[in-house]
Amino acid sequence: MNNLKIAIQKSGRLNEKSVQLLKNCGLAFENYKSSLITTVANFPLEILFLRDDDIPEYVQDGIADLGIVGENIIVETEANVRYLQRLGFGKCGLKIAVPTHSEFKELADLNGKAIATSYPTILKKFLDENNLSTDIRTISGSVEISPALELSDAIFDIVSTGGTLRSNGLKPFADVMTSEAILISKNGIDGNPVVRELIQRIQSVLRAAETKYVVLNVERSNLDEIIALLPGVKSPTIVPLAEENWVAVHTVISEQDFWDKINKLKAAGAQGIVVMPVEKVIM
Ligand code: PRT
Ligand code: ZN
**pLDDT by residue (tens digit) across 25-81?**
999 998 667 779 999 999 999 999 999 999 999 999 999 999 999 999 999 999 999
Residue 53 in contact with ligand 1 by CB distance below 6 A: yes
Taking only the tens place, the pLDDT of each residue in 154-185 is 999 999 999 999 999 999 999 999 999 999 99
Mutate which of 9, 10, 13 for ligand 1? The one with the most ligand atoms within 8 Å of its CB, which is: 13
pLDDT at residue 107 greater than cutoff 60: yes
Taking the whole predicted model, whether its pTM rises above 0.85 is answered as: yes
Find the 195 Cα to ligand 2 centroid distance in Å. Answer: 26
Nearest CA to ligand 1 atom 40: 160
Q: What is the mean pLDDT of residues 193-208?
A: 96
Tell the residue nearest (CA) to atom 13 of ligand 1.
13
For the chain, the DSSP string reads -PPEEEEEESSSTTHHHHHHHHHHTT-----TTT-SEEE-TTSSEEEEEE-GGGHHHHHHTTSSSEEEEEHHHHHHHT---EEEEE-S-S-EEEEEEEETT----SGGGGTT-EEEES-HHHHHHHHHHTT---EEEE-SS-GGGTTTTTS-SEEEEEESSSHHHHHTTEEEEEEEEEE-EEEEE-TT-TT-HHHHHHHHHHHHHHHHHTEEEEEEEEEGGGHHHHHHHSTT-S--EEEE-SSTTEEEEEEEEEHHHHHHHHHHHHHTT-EEEEEEE------
What is the reported pLDDT for 233? Answer: 56
Query: Given this model, what pLDDT does residue 2 score?
Result: 81
Q: Is the CB of 72 under 6 A from ligand 1?
A: yes
C-alpha 198/C-alpha 67 separation (Å) is: 12
Q: Is the pLDDT of residue 224 over 90?
A: yes
CB proximity list for 64: less than 8 A, separation 6 or greater: 5, 6, 7, 48, 50, 55, 58, 186
Q: Identify the burial level of 34 via C-beta atoms within 10 angstroms of its C-beta, where 0-12 means exposed, 13-18 middle and 19 or more buried.
A: exposed
The predicted structure's pLDDT at residue 134: 98
The protein residue with its alpha carbon nearest to ligand 1, atom 26, reads 92
Closest residue by Cα to atom 9, ligand 1, is: 12
